[in-house]
Amino acid sequence: MKETAAADLAHAALPPAPGADQHRSLDFADTAATLPAGQSYDLLAAPGSAMRWLATHGLTTPDVQLYEVCTQRMRTLRGHVRALFAARVEGVAPPEESLRAVNQALTAVPTAPLLAWEGAQGPRRVQAHPTDQAVNHALATLAADAADLITGPDASLLAACGSAPCDRFLVRTHGRRHWCSTRCGDRARAARAYARRNDASE
């Protein structure tokens, strides 16, 4: 419980990375991160925190019960999404198992809203996923978003944070910016200034 609270505090100190408001898969990839000063967090470490993340992102309702096996599936897919993002950033082929895992999540359930007819209300589109399929639906939605991100117009803007040891991903919004937050940008600039001073003094 204490570890989960510490993770939440570490995460709360950072705003969402640029692009996370448009790509839920980016925020999903960043649900675990290593931060400067030895801090880290994992928002999917326990069913309770994973449930909060899903509900906050509109991927399920708060009444859905998550179990550890579901949370493990989320962490596994997150690892594969991170591998795909890293491969796209580095311009290399991703691991076959990551491609396979994302494709399996994509095809596990229909992600398109189905057509329903409800009496006097008439036709409308609804997401058809019973409670026991809620996690499958969430993972399919995240997999589809990840696939769209690395094949869409923002693909060339996908980047890894350039302030080690931070390992969050972001979509660049300001020129060559490669930092996920102001804090990481300040650290990177301070490190460069320190290196310049050291070079000048030698």
Question: Where do the structural domains in the chain lie, given as residue ranges?
Answer: 2-201
User: Can you tell me the distance from the alpha carbon of 181 to that of 170, in angstroms, rounded to the nearest whole number?
Assistant: 9
Q: What is the pLDDT of residue 56?
A: 93
Return the closest-CA partner of residue 145 out of 24, 60, 16.
Answer: 24
Q: What is the structure's pLDDT at 133?
A: 80
Q: In whole angstroms, what is the distance from residue 19 CA to residue 24 CA?
A: 9
The average pLDDT across 162-187 equals 79
pTM, full prediction: 0.81
What's the pLDDT score for residue 176? 65
Residues in CB range of 114: below 8 A, 6 or more apart: 125, 126, 127, 128
The superfamily CATH assigns to domain 2-201 is: Jann2411-like domain (1.10.3300.10)
Q: So what's the pLDDT on residue 201? A: 60
Nearest of 141, 186, 119, 112 to residue 24 by alpha carbon? 141
pLDDT at res. 27: 97
pLDDT, position 61 = 81
Higher-scoring residue by pLDDT: 131, 140: 140
Q: What pLDDT, on the 0 to 100 scale, is given for residue 111? A: 60
92-106 pLDDT, tens digit each:
999 999 999 999 999
pLDDT at 81: 98
Q: Count CA within 13 A, CB hemisphere, residue 36.
A: 17
Identity at 67, one-letter amino acid code: Y
Per-residue pLDDT of 29-56, as tens digits, reads 999 998 776 788 999 999 999 999 999 9
pLDDT band at 82 (very low <50, low <70, confident <90, very high): very high
Q: Which amino acid makes up residue 185?
A: G
Q: What is the pLDDT of residue 3?
A: 47
Q: How confident is the model at residue 12 (pLDDT cuts 50, 70, 90)?
A: low
What pLDDT, on a 0 to 100 scale, did the predictor assign at position 53? 95
Q: Please tell me the distance from the alpha carbon of residue 60 to that of residue 114, in angstroms, as a whole number.
A: 17
Q: To the nearest whole percent, how much of the chain has pLDDT over 70? A: 78
- Measured CA to CA, the distance from residue 169 to residue 179 in angstroms comes to 9
Strand partners, 170: 159
pLDDT digits (tens, 9 = 90+) for 114-135: 787 877 888 887 766 555 588 8
In this prediction, residues 154-170 reach a mean pLDDT of 90
